[in-house]
Amino acid sequence: MSEITVLSSANYDEVTGSGVVAVDFYADWCGPCKMIAPIFDEAKDAYDGKAIFAKINVDDNKEIAMANKVMGIPTLLFFKDGQLMDRVTGVIDKAALYAKLDALV
């Protein structure tokens, strides 16, 4: 099973540049972020080999959050071959997350 990739300014462009990538913008202190974490982790296992799952801490990477117009957390961004295809802010349930991923893989 794959791991969730931790993003920073050093690897953000490289990781999001190819394939299907789901990025969770979060903060350690964020309650809703903690609610979505197990759903995101389960999706990582379900889509192993089909999509990359990554997390980026907005407190440590404010410039990337601002560049992606992340105004609230959690925010999930969905990339395909470097292009932003979809986004959702707030807690998302498993069915909605899988539907977004199914549209991209």
> Which residue numbers are catalytic?
30, 33
* Phi, psi angle pair for 10, to nearest 5°: -70, -30
Rg of the chain in Å (alpha carbons): 12
Of residues 1, 74, 5, 2, the one with CA closest to residue 33: 74
Q: How far apart are CA 57 and CA 41, in angstroms?
A: 16
